[in-house]
Amino acid sequence: MVYIRAKKVKSDQYLYLVKSVWDSKKSTSRQEIVKYLGKASDVIKDDIPIEYRNDPKVLSVLASFNPKDIKKREEATTKSKKQLYKKLISGEIEECIKIYEEYVKIFNAADFFDKILKPTMYEIGEHWASNKISIATEHVASNIAQTLVKIIMDRVSGSTNKKKILICVPLGEEHHLGCDVLETYLSIKGFKIYNMGTSMPTESIISFIESNKPDMVFVSITLPDNLSAGQRLVKKIKEEHNIPIFVGGSAMQTEKIPKMDAKIVLNPSLEEIPKIIRSA
């Protein structure tokens, strides 16, 4: 059984999707957080995990926190995803920028990455895998998406008085859009980011850590074929440096994840990342 729990912080309400779990030792039930949903006024149906998305009780409670705006926000999100898909596969960067600018008038940059860009890129990847679009079209869309993220990044200005974070990929991993999105969001939050999202030898990453002394490392793995390389990278970093390591990315959704001496981060929202950093 799942339900939504609200927590008030100052004047704002924040929502959590929780479920009841039976504790056989204590013969009682306890609450377990399924997902942090975010600020109540910003949460929409798409924020609910797909397996609970049509639960009438969940939707009823969600609507009660945002009765006037939820339909409008859901329509804006659906419309923006459809528009972005079309403009990405046709390579229209200026139109993609306009979609971003219009969307953040209602939401924010984190919502754009989480609710618009990420699911749209997943859809493009699925359509390429099922031959609905060509590999050339997929490459065009990926390149435009990366350009879009960089343009957003160039608009970011903020203090960098927080922790230093290295973002990297294992040798052989050529997908770095996730690294670019994470760099942009954490820079907005004021973190100092070193983005080594391009595949390079492990020795180069170790040397960079030695020279720049980041407070923690995020390793992004997109393709399951690169999990073993990620495992070797994590092991080597641990051998050389006593530093927190987090591993995430699409490849971590597989059932066969090799054991790693790192914290596995399974598909968090961007708003959850700063909390993960603070817990390190």
Q: Which CATH number applies to 70-154: 1.10.1240.10, 2.40.50.200, 3.40.50.1970, 2.30.110.10?
A: 1.10.1240.10
Please determine, for residue 232, whether its predicted confidence score (pLDDT) is greater than 60: yes
Amino acid making up residue 107: F
CA torsion 239→258→145→49, rounded to 10°?
Answer: -130
User: What tens digit of pLDDT does each residue of 27-40 get?
Assistant: 777 778 888 888 88
The total of other beta-carbon atoms located within 10 Å of residue 125's CB is 17
What are the two backbone dihedrals, phi and then psi, of residue 153, each rounded to the nearest 5 degrees? -60, -40
Q: Average pLDDT for residues 117-143, to the nearest whole number?
A: 93
Q: What is the CATH number of domain 164-279?
A: 3.40.50.280
At 244 the pLDDT is 95
Domains of the chain: which residue ranges?
2-65, 70-154, 164-279
At 159 the pLDDT is 52
Within the chain, strands assigned E span 2-9, 12-23, 28-39, 164-168, 192-196, 216-220, 245-248, 263-264
The mean pLDDT of the chain is 86
pLDDT band at 66 (very low <50, low <70, confident <90, very high): low
CA torsion 167→225→171→234, rounded to 10°?
Answer: 60
The first and second tokens of residue 257, run together, are: 């994840």
